[in-house]
Amino acid sequence: MLYYSGGKLDEEITYVKGVGPAKADLLEKEKGIRTQWDMLMDIPFRYIDRREFKTVGQVYQEGELVQLKGKLLRKNVQGTGRRKRLTADFSDGTGTLKLIWFQGVQMMDKLLQPGMEVIVFGKLGFFNRQKNMAHPELEIIKKGESQREHKGLQPVYSSTEKLSKKAMDTRGIRKITENITEQLSERDLPETLPAYLLKKLNLISRYKAIKWIHFPPDHRELHEAKNRLAFEELFALQLKMLYKMKLRKKRFKGHDFPEVGSFFHRYFKEELPFELTNAQKRVVRQIRKDTQSGVQMNRLVQGDVGSGKTVVAVLAMLLAIDNGYQACMMAPTEILANQHYQKIEEQLSRIGLKTAFLTGNIKGKKRTEILEGLEKGEINVLIGTHAIIEDWVVFKNLGLAITDEQHRFGVKQRARLWKKSKERPPHVMVMTATPIPRTLAMTLYGDLDISVIDELPPGRKPIKTTKTSDRHRGKMNQFLKSEIAKGRQVYVVFPLIEESETLDLANLQEGYDQLLDQFPRPQYQIGIVHGRMKPEDKDREMQRFAEGKTNILVSTTVIEVGVNVPNASVMVIENAERFGLSQLHQLRGRVGRGAEQSHCILMTGYKLTEVAKKRMEIMCRTNDGFEIAEADLKIRGPGEIEGLRQSGDLNLQVASLATDAGILQSSRKVAKAILEKDPELSHPDNRLLKTMLKKHKTGDIIGQIG
């Protein structure tokens, strides 16, 4: 996020020429724009090159984005209700094409008149061999209007129906922005980067960059503006992250784990069902190095579903125990925490260690025994939900705290976990099964050391993924029956339509009823899970499925990350085109946990968008979560990757993590070099960088900066 250091641009947008109180109020409600600086931070999402016009006769490629100039010949409103549409014939003398509007019909009908000269921009389509353009961007050329306005690169801004009705469509927003930039001087946009950095990296001034990002004279100037502002955004994030990391390592000493003792060796020799992969060995070595460094470990361990993160977590726990410390693991849900507990307790009890399980539902005598055992040091490992961070939970000597799926916990919750260790904070290990692209990980978790487990244990069979449609539902049901006859289980997941929970439940109920017809009781048992169920009812249904009492589990919600039912071998995803790639991959990961061949069936509609087709193709082609996450980042952007929507660090206004990976890496490299040379940013040349850190909220380190 780009910041403003205060001055003229902090004035309210009301007083800009062409705005006024009513429009200012609407801009704030619709786009969150209150000040002139906010207006400048409403960055164009595209640019139209007004020098490039094509003719109707020249264009023929379906899907091609084209700009045309001509006249409206006639218009016609057809249909009623939802089927209502407006069509207008457009001609430039070389041919005609039909303009079509399915939305805003009444407004456009009033606006458009035959004989008008217009510029249209949009995607070329064909219907019955006739050229058309649906919902084009349209600009009316008024008589006597200077053609100067239609030269060069013209910015295109996002708008809303309410704004458009008040003449604040892309053209209106452009005019307001132009009125602001015309009044700007270099004093109004003081520099935020040191002169030596601008020179070294050949970056233009902030003043030029802000003006050119809105009104670039040419493609070269636009590239320079984007490059400068993207670098500034990403550099500020990396400087903040690296400063926090350095400060934490300076302030917080870590518990020392010098020994690799008997518990570690016994588990390694007696309890490991298979040899560690090279990736697992590499991560264990990194953890060993961290816990011997004298500095508190803060390490993110990311690995795809089934990559063996839990084994690495247990080995880290044993390092702590062998050195006289306790360990804990916190999971976001009771069912996931209990699953970790069952698996880990069984293994650790065989080598003489005591593991306890704690949630908010455990009360009375059982809770008292656990709390006493923790305080006396008789319990080596505690596994549970957020109940672990309650004040009444006291450890004798906590040395390692592990959180599973960190993004499901708030900052305050994680901070309370830190305080569970008396003299100094515990080493922290964070696990996630959400594959995160490298650029996103550097942005979200740049202040953590990152480990990646990028190999699956031997013997794991890749999940076979296929796409099908309703036409083949009968064949699919026969396949499900054959799998159930072999003793396997099936998930059937319906998409969540956030706007309508009622519609969700209707779709779910309809799907559930259809399955009951095809899989009648008592031969088949079908369970159902949805968001309106009480947590205990939901857990009971999940437990029945986990215990094999249910053949098919139907759900509208994403099955809990990490839930392990080795006997479940088929995942059917209804309306798969409505899910993002990362969601699809997370769902697919609920199967493939046993030794048998597992299957994922993507049920889709007949008509798919190009993006949906691409998603299905990628899902059928690869099981690699990191490849899928990279593709999802490019298709949808970081804010939509499952589990990462909450992150405030993703408020990027110019930079794109999908396309600016090179700028991100160079910004981190530059920030690292500066902090190595001047850790406190005390040199006069770095005065602006210290200001930058203060402006970018840096949590608990704000007070540490001079």
Q: Residue 626: count other Cβ atoms within 10 Å of its Cβ.
A: 17
> Treating both helix axes as pointing N-terminal to C-terminal, what angle do 610-621 and 625-636 enclose, rounded to 10 degrees?
170
Cα(194)–Cα(197) distance, integer angstroms: 5
pLDDT of residue 702: 31
Q: What is the CATH number of the domain that holds 125?
A: 2.40.50.140
Low-confidence winner among 134-148, 240-254, 366-380, 454-468 (lowest mean pLDDT): 134-148
Are 40 and 176 contacting, i.e. CB atoms less than 8 angstroms apart? no
Angle at 664 between CA 662 and CA 669, to 5 degrees: 95
pLDDT at position 562, please? Answer: 56
Interval 424-430 mean pLDDT: 90
Owner of token pair 């969540």: 496
The answer to the question of residue 632 being in a domain is no
Confidence of residue 647 (pLDDT cuts 50, 70, 90): very low
Owner of token pair 């929970």: 501
Give the Cα separation of 345 and 353 in Å (integer): 8
Residue 571 CA to residue 281 CA, distance in Å, equals 31
| Among 141, 89, 43, 180, CA closest to 656 | 43
Pair 166, 36 in one domain = yes
Q: Between these two residues, 6 and 614, which has the higher pLDDT value?
A: 614
pLDDT above 80 (res 684): yes
Question: How would you label 366-381 residue by residue, b for 16+ Cβ within 10 Å and e otherwise?
Answer: ebeebbebbeeeebbb
End-to-end CA distance of the chain: 23
* In a shared domain, residues 40 and 63: no
How far is C-alpha 694 from the geometric centre of its chain's CA atoms? 26
* pLDDT reported for residue 506: 67
Q: Are residues 521 and 596 in the same domain?
A: yes
Percent residues over pLDDT 90 in the chain:
52
Residue 491 to residue 96: CA distance in whole angstroms? 52
Query: Within 291-427, where are the H helices?
Result: 309-322, 334-349, 364-376, 411-418
Structural domain of residue 66, as residue ranges? 58-141
Confidence of residue 16 (pLDDT cuts 50, 70, 90): very high
Report residue 630's pLDDT band, with 50, 70 and 90 as the boundaries. Answer: confident
Are the C-beta atoms of 550 and 527 separated by less than 8 Å?
Answer: yes
615 and 535, same domain (yes or no) = yes
Residue 639: band (very low, low, confident or very high) from pLDDT cuts 50, 70, 90:
low
Task: State residue 648's pLDDT score.
Answer: 42
Residue where a domain terminates, one of 572, 602, 622:
622
Respond yes or no on whether the N-terminal peptide bond of residue 522 is cis (omega within 30° of 0).
yes
Among 432, 451, 486, the domain-final residue is 432
- Flag whether pLDDT at 620 surpasses 70: yes
559-597 confidence digits (pLDDT tens): 655 567 888 999 999 989 988 888 888 889 888 877 789
| pLDDT computed for residue 437 by the predictor | 79
Q: Per-residue DSSP letters for 679-698?
A: TT--SGGGHHHHHHHHHS--
Question: What was the pLDDT predicted at 644?
Answer: 45
pLDDT at 409: 60
**Residue with the two structure tokens 């706007």:** 499
What b/e readout covers 70-86, taking b as 16+ CB neighbours within 10 angstroms?
bebeebeeeeeeeeeeb
Q: What tokens were used for 701?
A: 């380190």
Which residue has better confidence, 140 or 416?
140
| Total count of domains within the chain | 4
Residue 205: inside a domain: no
Exposed / middle / buried, residue 596 (Cβ in 10 Å: 0-12, 13-18, 19+): middle
The burial of 294, by beta-carbon neighbours within 10 Å (0-12 exposed, 13-18 middle, 19 or more buried), is given as exposed
Residue 113 lies in a domain: yes
Confidence of residue 253 (pLDDT cuts 50, 70, 90): confident
Structure tokens at 107: 């407004």
In a shared domain, residues 89 and 156: no
The predicted structure's pLDDT at residue 699? 44
CA distance 133 to 122: 6
Q: Would you say residue 125 lies in a domain?
A: yes
Identify the top-confidence range among 92-101, 561-570, 604-613. Answer: 92-101
Please report which helix (H) or strand (E) contains residue 542, including its range: helix 535-546
Task: Give residue-wise pLDDT tens across range 523-550.
Answer: 999 999 887 788 788 888 888 998 899 9
Q: What is the pLDDT of residues 182-204, one digit of tens each?
A: 999 999 999 999 999 999 999 99
Among 600, 603, 576, residue whose Cα is nearest residue 468: 603
pLDDT bracket for residue 265 (50, 70, 90): very high
Question: Tell me, what's the pLDDT at 697?
Answer: 57
Q: Considering 622, 641, 663, which residue would you say is the last residue of a domain? A: 622
Residue 659 maps to a domain = no
* Strand-strand pairing, 355-358 and 298-303: unpaired
pLDDT of residue 44: 94
Angle between helices 219-251 and 206-214 (to 10 degrees): 130
In the numeric block, the tokens 């990362």 are attached to 582
**Residue-wise pLDDT tens digits, 24-34:** 999 999 999 99
The pTM of this model reads 0.72
Q: Is the pLDDT of residue 64 over 90?
A: no
Stretch 412-439: mean pLDDT: 81
Q: Between 1 and 355, whose confidence is greater?
A: 355
Q: How much is the pLDDT for 538?
A: 84
Return all residues near 414 (Cβ < 8 A) that are at least 6 apart: 403, 406
Same domain for 388 and 482?
Answer: no
The pLDDT of 601-613, averaged and rounded, is 88
Phi, psi angles (nearest 5°) of residue 449: -80, 135
Q: Are residues 42 and 72 in the same domain?
A: no
Under the banding of pLDDT at 50, 70 and 90, the label for residue 216 is very high
Tokens (6 digits) for 614: 């691409």
Per residue in 101-160, pLDDT (tens digit) is 988 888 899 999 999 999 998 889 998 889 999 999 888 887 765 444 455 688 989 888
Q: Is residue 312 part of a domain?
A: yes
Of 61-75, 99-113, 144-158, 311-325, give the lowest mean pLDDT range: 144-158
Q: Nearest-5° angle of CA 83, CA 87, CA 93?
A: 160
Min mean pLDDT across 20-29, 86-95, 505-514 is at: 505-514
Closest to 298 in 3D by CA, of 492, 187, 448: 448
Of 288, 278, 586, the residue nearest 432 (C-alpha): 586
Measured from the Cβ of residue 518, the count of other Cβ atoms closer than 10 Å reads 16
Scored b (16 or more CB within 10 A) or e, 100-131 reads bbeeeeeebbeebeeebebbbbbebbeeeeeb
Is residue 581 domain-resident?
A: yes
pLDDT above 80: residue 663: yes
Are 321 and 273 found together in one domain? yes
Report the CATH number that the domain containing residue 380 is assigned in CATH: 3.40.50.300
Closest CA to 256 of 450, 399, 428, 380: 399
**Model pLDDT for residues 294-306, shown as the tens digit of each residue:** 888 989 998 887 7
Q: What is the mean pLDDT of residues 367-380?
A: 94
Helix (H) or strand (E) holding 154: strand 153-156
Please, are residues 297 and 317 in contact by the beta-carbon 8 Å criterion? no
Tell me how far apart the alpha carbons of residues 181 and 190 are, in angstroms, rounded to a whole number.
14
Both 44 and 62 in a single domain? no
Please tell me the least confidently modeled range out of 226-235, 366-375, 384-393, 398-407. 398-407
* pLDDT tens-digit series, residues 159-174: 888 898 888 888 899 9
Q: What is the DSSP string of 431-493?
A: EE-S---HHHHHHHSTTSEEEEE--PPTTPPPPEEEEEEGGGHHHHHHHHHHHHHTT-EEEEE
Are 348 and 325 part of one and the same domain? Answer: yes
Question: Residue 705 pLDDT more than 50?
Answer: no
| Distances from the Cα of 574 to the Cα of 467, 493, 601, angstroms | 11, 6, 9
Alpha carbon separation from 122 to 203, 338, 704 (Å, rounded):
34, 54, 52
Place of tokens 């209502």: 84
pLDDT in tens, 329-343: 999 888 889 889 998
Instruction: Supply the mean pLDDT for the chain.
Output: 87
- For 299, other C-beta atoms within 10 Å of its C-beta total 20
Residues 6+ apart with CB under 8 A from 277: 307, 308, 453, 455, 456, 457, 458
Tell me if 286 is assigned to some domain: yes
Q: 477: pLDDT confidence band, cut at 50, 70 and 90? A: very high
- CA atoms of 227 and 204, how far apart (whole Å): 9
In this structure, the answer to whether residues 17 and 101 fall within a common structural domain is no
Amino acid in position 210: I
* Same domain membership, residue 580 and residue 517: yes
**Is the confidence at residue 504, as pLDDT, over 80?**
no
